[in-house]
């Protein structure tokens, strides 16, 4: 998530906060802002773009010296990345300032309620509602800010970290946490709040990790932690012994490893706010009517690289749930083959950055042909969402590592949501059937965490195979895109030959590549449900094993039929076949990362690659 810094002490609060925000720049952001308390007055400054823009503004219009303040670097979720939507947000009286990470699911209801009581909200964000709720809860300074924060938190739904200041309480900063990180830095005569220890590690290495549903008040002389009901809160104190570089990575060797571990939370965040009060699916910005969607007779997914593999998974789900023909095209090839598009064609364009030039040009070509366009994107306010008829944002947060991990899995979830939404509108699935799939999706983050907790055998395997010259990946159904993604990660990071194949195509040529000792990694479908997929995959395992391959099998818990044909079995929890890529991809990400590390390569910055490809 984005960067949060809060400070109370004897130093220049502005200097501490700006320094902290700079140390959090690695997270990625699209605007920055600060709020300072001086002489009983609240002052704010915020600016779209990089931190340098905010610093230039502060140089032009200096703030009064302050020893209490908060700061934020924003990654847009609700509202475009501009000056008006940048944090902090203030209330009607200008006495409360709030910064926020996360998503407040019921903000539309809260906003309407506040406006009916005469509040004037000036931004497009979900955060601003909190500032006005705190304005009401503090009752002009009669109620303490921490008490007000506890009352407001009971009204909020979703995931959030909130940090607030109030002009009537100039010696305190108050924070709250639910499903989003917030840590306290303990100093001598000063204390800190931050979304990451990197923000305050230059000042103190003594930290307190807040628990779920807790409110914290930091002052010069101490820290008070309670739960949302005001009861004393349990906290975990620890000493940070990382250097600054490691602190930015949360103690991980690489950003990629950190982002792999963030995937359960990213998937959970992408699911937030997707059901309305009637338990019907909603998308972020749907500018297509239900009648428009009912007229669709063909869907084409366009994407590049890892996003293309997410589109291949989408094809299986969308066709199964909607019965609409679905094609998947490499965006770099799409417009050059003169595709047949009509007003009844829906283009689903997938891009983490929203600026991928190949995909953007394909999108524009589709618009010229009068096709409808829905964008799946992780970057609010980027070009592709602006030029589309509908948008579904993934909420993966910034990705620093070039090789996409959490971006990929959240794109798959977004594709599932598009398929279910279309099924809902077109009536191809009953409400209870859609609810069952949504429930299965909501259960996935916990299952993903189980996979992450048991990956040491995968790391050992990667180190053991570091000298291999080639690795092959096999899959059927949604396991085929998983095989392609596993091979791509190994190419990107380990700079070695790797290929992903549809397992049924083995006998049509690729089996000639199998020789003694060649590692073959397979994702085996569940034996439950469509067991024919499982049985066919086991047959493929027998084929390659008979020719001397070293077989590494990803199989769900309880599947013992693969064991006679596997040199190594990697277990994942049971799940519906269509959702299995959310689990089976994770070991392949870790395998590629560990293989690259063992071969001495830079995992976060692989050679010749860029995070966002902005040229054709």
Q: Is residue 526 part of a domain?
A: yes
- 511: DSSP letter: G
In sign, the C-alpha dihedral spanning 366, 372, 376, 380 is positive
**Is residue 611 among the annotated active site residues?**
yes
Count Cβ atoms within 10 A of the Cβ of residue 425 and give its class: 0-12 exposed, 13-18 middle, 19 or more buried: buried
CA end-to-end span of the chain: 30
Q: ω before 114 within 30° of 0 (cis)? A: no
Mean pLDDT of 113-123: 96
Percent of the chain with pLDDT over 90: 76
Query: Three-state SS across 138-205?
Result: HCCCCCCHHHHHHHHHCCCCEEEEEEEEECCEEEEEEEEEECCCCEEEECCCCEEEECCHHHCCCCCC
The token duo for 496 is 């070695």
Confidence of residue 397 (pLDDT cuts 50, 70, 90): confident
* CA distance linking residue 584 with residue 579, whole number of Å: 9
In the chain, how many domains are there? 3
Tens digit of each residue's pLDDT (9 = 90 or more) over 173-208: 999 998 778 899 999 999 999 988 889 988 999 999
Catalytic position from the list 372, 406, 491, 611: 611
* Contact predicate 92/119, CB 8 Å: yes
Residue-wise pLDDT for 453-473, tens only, equals: 999 999 999 999 999 999 999
- Same structural domain, 302 and 244: no
Is residue 237 situated within a structural domain? yes
Overall pTM > 0.85: no
Residue 254 lies in a domain: no
Same domain, 181 and 49: yes
Scanning 453-529, the segments in alpha helix (DSSP H) are 456-464, 479-494
pLDDT for the residue numbered 614: 52
Do 352 and 295 belong to one domain?
yes
Q: Is the pLDDT of residue 559 over 60?
A: yes
If one counts every other C-beta atom within 10 angstroms of the C-beta of residue 562, the result is 20
> At a CB cut-off of 8 Å and minimum separation 6, what does 10 contact?
67, 189, 190, 220
CATH number where 56 lies:
3.60.20.10
pLDDT, tens digit, for every residue of 589-610?
999 999 999 999 999 888 888 6
- Return the pLDDT at 242: 67
pLDDT in tens, 337-373: 889 999 999 999 999 988 888 999 999 999 999 999 9
Angle at the Cα of 398 from the Cα atoms of 129 and 20, rounded to 5 degrees: 75
Q: How far apart are CA 514 and CA 524, in angstroms?
A: 19
Q: Which of 2, 304, 377, 415 is catalytic?
A: 2
Kindly report the CA angle at 605 between 583 and 383, in degrees rounded to 5?
75
What local confidence, expressed as pLDDT, does residue 116 receive? 97
Same-domain status, 342 and 219: no
Categorize the per-residue pLDDT at 588 as very low, low, confident or very high, splitting at 50, 70 and 90: very high
Task: Verify that 241 and 266 share a domain, yes or no.
Answer: no
Question: Are both 326 and 347 inside the same structural domain?
Answer: yes
Give tens-digit pLDDT for 63-86: 999 999 999 999 888 888 899 999
Please list, in sequence order, all residues whose beta carbon lies within 8 angstroms of the beta carbon of residue 230, skipping any fewer than 6 positions away: 147, 150
Same domain for 493 and 519, yes or no, is yes
Please give the Cα distance from 235 to 249 (Å, whole number): 22
* Residue 287 and residue 185 share a domain: no
Give the per-residue pLDDT at 77.
81
Kindly report the number of other CB atoms within 10 A of residue 575's CB atom. 22
> Cα–chain-centroid distance for residue 392?
13
Residues 10 and 124 in one domain: yes
Which residues, listed in sequence order, are joined to residue 241 by a DSSP beta bridge? none
Contacts of 337 (CB under 8 A, 6+ apart): none
CA distance 188 to 11: 11
CA–CA gap between residue 192 and residue 184 (Å, rounded): 6
Mean pLDDT of the chain: 92
My answer on whether 190 and 270 are in the same domain is no
pLDDT category at 212 given cuts 50, 70, 90 is confident
Q: Which among 521, 527, 530 is positioned nearest to 570, based on CA atoms? A: 521
CA 384 – CA 377 distance, rounded (Å)? 8
Let me know whether 79 and 176 are in one domain: yes
**Is 606 within a domain?**
no
The answer as to whether 545 is a domain residue is yes
- Once rounded to an integer, what is the mean pLDDT over residues 9-37? 91
> Is position 609 within any domain?
no
User: Are both 101 and 211 inside the same structural domain?
Assistant: yes
pLDDT in tens, 151-181: 999 999 988 999 999 999 999 999 999 877 8
- Final residue before a domain boundary, out of 426, 444, 462: 444
CA torsion, ordered 171, 176, 180, 183, to nearest 10 deg: 40
> Is 147 within the bounds of a domain?
yes
Indicate the burial class of 615 (C-beta count within 10 angstroms; 0-12, 13-18, 19 or more). Answer: exposed
Boundaries of domain holding 481? 454-598
Judge whether 48 and 82 are in contact, CB under 8 Å. Answer: yes
User: Is 613 domain-assigned?
Assistant: no
The CATH number covering residue 541 comes to: 3.40.50.10490
Please write the tens of the pLDDT for every residue from 258-305: 999 999 999 999 998 888 878 889 887 888 999 999 999 999 999 999
Task: Please tell me the distance from the alpha carbon of residue 35 to that of residue 100, in angstroms, as a whole number.
Answer: 13
Looking at 444, 470, 498, the residue that finishes a domain is 444
pLDDT band at 418 (very low <50, low <70, confident <90, very high): very high
Q: Please say which residue of 414, 444, 474 terminates a domain.
A: 444
Whether pLDDT at 332 is above 80: yes
């Amino acid at each position: 998530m984005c960067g949060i810094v809060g400070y109370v002490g004897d130093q220049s609060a502005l200097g501490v906060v700006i320094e902290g925000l700079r140390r959090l720049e690695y997270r990625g952001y699209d605007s920055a802002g600060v709020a300072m308390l001086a002489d009983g007055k609240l002052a704010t400054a915020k600016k779209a773009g990089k931190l340098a823009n905010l610093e230039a503004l502060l140089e032009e219009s200096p703030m009064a010296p302050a020893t209490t303040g908060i700061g934020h670097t924003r990654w847009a979720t609700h509202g475009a990345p501009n000056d008006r939507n940048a944090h902090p947000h203030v209330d009607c009286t200008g006495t409360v300032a709030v910064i926020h990470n996360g998503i407040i699911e019921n903000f539309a209801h809260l906003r309407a309620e506040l406006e009916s009581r005469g509040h004037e909200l000036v931004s497009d964000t979900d955060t601003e509602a909190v500032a006005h709720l705190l304005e009401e809860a503090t009752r002009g300074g009669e109620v303490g800010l921490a008490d007000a924060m506890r009352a407001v938190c009971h009204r909020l739904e979703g995931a959030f970290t909130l940090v607030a200041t109030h002009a009537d309480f100039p010696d305190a900063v108050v924070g709250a946490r639910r499903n989003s990180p917030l840590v306290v830095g303990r100093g001598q005569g000063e204390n800190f709040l931050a979304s990451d220890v990197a923000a305050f590690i230059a000042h103190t290495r003594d930290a307190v990790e807040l628990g779920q549903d807790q409110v914290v008040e930091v002052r010069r002389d101490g820290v008070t932690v309670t739960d949302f009901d005001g009861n004393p809160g349990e906290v975990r104190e620890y000493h940070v012994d990382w250097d600054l570089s490691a602190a930015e990575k949360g103690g991980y060797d690489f950003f990629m490893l950190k982002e792999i571990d963030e995937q359960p939370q990213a998937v959970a965040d992408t699911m937030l706010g997707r059901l309305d009060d009637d338990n019907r699916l909603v998308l972020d910005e749907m500018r297509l009517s239900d009648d428009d969607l009912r007229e669709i007779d063909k869907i084409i997914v366009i994407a590049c690289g890892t996003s293309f593999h997410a589109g291949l998974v989408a094809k299986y789900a969308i066709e199964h749930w909607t019965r609409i023909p679905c094609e998947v095209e490499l965006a770099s090839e799409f417009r050059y083959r003169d595709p047949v598009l009509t007003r009844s064609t829906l283009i689903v364009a997938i891009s983490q950055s929203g600026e991928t030039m190949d995909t953007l040009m394909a999108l524009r070509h589709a618009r010229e042909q009068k096709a409808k366009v829905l964008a799946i994107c992780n970057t609010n306010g980027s070009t592709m969402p602006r030029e589309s008829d509908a948008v579904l944002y993934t909420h993966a947060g910034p990705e620093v590592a070039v090789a996409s991990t959490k971006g990929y899995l959240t794109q798959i979830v977004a594709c599932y949501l598009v398929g279910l939404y279309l099924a809902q509108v077109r009536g191809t699935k009953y409400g209870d059937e859609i609810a069952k799939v949504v429930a299965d999706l909501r259960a996935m983050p916990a299952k993903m965490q189980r996979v992450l907790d048991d990956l040491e055998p995968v790391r050992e395997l990667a180190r053991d195979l570091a000298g291999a010259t080639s690795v092959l990946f096999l899959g059927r159904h949604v396991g085929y895109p998983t095989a392609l993604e596993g091979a791509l990660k190994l190419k990107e990071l380990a700079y070695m030959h790797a290929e992903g194949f549809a397992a049924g195509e083995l006998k049509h040529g690729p089996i000639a590549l199998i020789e003694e000792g060649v590692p073959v990694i397979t994702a085996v479908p569940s034996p439950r449900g469509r067991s024919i997929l499982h049985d066919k995959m086991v047959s493929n395992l027998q084929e390659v094993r008979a020719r001397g391959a070293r077989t590494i099998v990803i199989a769900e818990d309880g599947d013992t039929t693969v064991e006679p044909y596997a040199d190594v079995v990697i277990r994942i929890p049971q799940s519906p076949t269509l959702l299995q890529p959310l689990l089976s991809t994770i070991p392949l990400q870790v395998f590629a990362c560990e293989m690259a590390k063992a071969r001495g390569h830079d995992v976060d910055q692989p050679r010749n690659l860029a995070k966002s490809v902005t040229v054709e």
